[in-house]
Amino acid sequence: MARLPVRDDLVAVEPYGAPQLDVPVRLNVNETPWPPPASFTEHLAKRVAALEMHRYPDRRAWALRLALAGRFGLPPEQVWAANGSNEVLAQLFQAYGGPGRRMLTFRPTYSMYPEIARTTATGHVEGDLDEDFRLTAAIATEAVTRFDPDLVVLASPNNPTGLSVPPAVVRAVHQAGRALVVVDEAYMEFADAASTASATSLIGDCERVVVVRTFSKAWRMAGVRLGYLLGPDWVVDDLRKVRLPYHLDVMTQEAGLVAVDLAAEVTAHIPTIVAERDRMRRALTDLGVHVFASDANFLLLRTEVDDLFDRLLARGVLVRDFSRHPRLAGCLRVTVGTPEENDAFLTATKESLDV
């Protein structure tokens, strides 16, 4: 029996995803190394036991949106939730991308943006971050003027490079064109609140700015698949046109509610991760490794050692290899783990550089 060929534009595509290898130290996908606290799992178990699983979930996820809205001082009509921030992003592309429309990103950035653009038949145009991987208002304005995009996606802090986009630059992107400006703040909770502002402060003021966040990183719930959007109510109304009915299951909604209830405990580890990030940066610099500044729970490093990724893996440490990505020759990204995992990574790096 002859197969049905896949869509022409998917023939040469490799499924996206980092290797899931069973090694002692896994620092490659920016998870939090500790599970949520026992208080969270105990509450959740009780609440799951009381759920009506024979019924469809609340299609609007209203209780969860209300709880999230409360954290940001927004009405629930300005909050949307889906299965991970990747699904929120995919829904934004379904609603505002598509044939004849284009998205602008700045290299290097998160590799899923072009993947989602392709599956939604959205065009992709690119500008470049500056030499230190910063986005300046001048770079952003020039690219928006040149490309006239429908969507601009900015990761802040950026993955894999680590720095945030100042709200003034987001505002400049918004002013320069007519695009929906999507600020992906997957890692914002790790940034220093005193020096780094979230684009949430622009919501309302800039009518086409939306912020996307996730429970996968600082909320240590990557296995739950929950992300959300904050933005104008008309965006939320448009997303409701493309979502599948009952897209967010009862258990995910409940997990989000319990996490928001216990927010302080669930996110209590963040200062430890930040302190470890800064310790790792100093230790790597002492080893002569170039490390980029980071507001996130990972560090991007550059060395001359071609096969550092393999040398680390041989020592049981898995990081993310970016060395073959545009503008990232010689670069690896390491997630901040437990102090023990970070020590193992530092020791493995030292040994690998000494070889």
What is the contact surface with ligand PMP in residues (CB under 6 A)?
Answer: 30, 84-86, 110, 155, 159, 184, 186, 214, 216, 222, 227
Residue 352, Ramachandran bin (φ over 0: left; ψ between -120 and 50: alpha; else beta): alpha
Of 297 and 349, the one with the shorter C-beta distance to ligand PMP is 297
CB of 10 to ligand PMP, least distance (A): 21
CB of 17 to ligand PMP, least distance (A): 10
Contacts (Cβ under 8 Å, ≥6 apart) of 228: 65, 68, 79, 80, 81, 82, 85, 88, 212, 213, 214
Of 110 and 309, the one with the shorter C-beta distance to ligand PMP is 110
Determine the Cα–Cα distance for residues 266 and 260; give it in Å rounded to an integer: 8
Determine the Cα–Cα distance for residues 354 and 103; give it in Å rounded to an integer: 44
CB of 84 to ligand PMP, least distance (A): 3
Determine the Cα–Cα distance for residues 256 and 244; give it in Å rounded to an integer: 19
Of 96 and 228, the one with the shorter C-beta distance to ligand PMP is 228
Of 186 and 312, the one with the shorter C-beta distance to ligand PMP is 186
Of 28 and 352, the one with the shorter C-beta distance to ligand PMP is 28
CB of 194 to ligand PMP, least distance (A): 23
- Identity of residue 200: T
CB of 252 to ligand PMP, least distance (A): 12
Of 32 and 216, the one with the shorter C-beta distance to ligand PMP is 216
What is the number of the residue whose Cβ is closest to ligand PMP? 84
Determine the Cα–Cα distance for residues 132 and 188; give it in Å rounded to an integer: 19
Q: Return the SS3 of 257.
A: helix
CB of 18 to ligand PMP, least distance (A): 8
Q: What 3 state SS string does 158-190 have?
A: CCCCCCCCCHHHHHHHHHHCCCEEEEECCCHHH
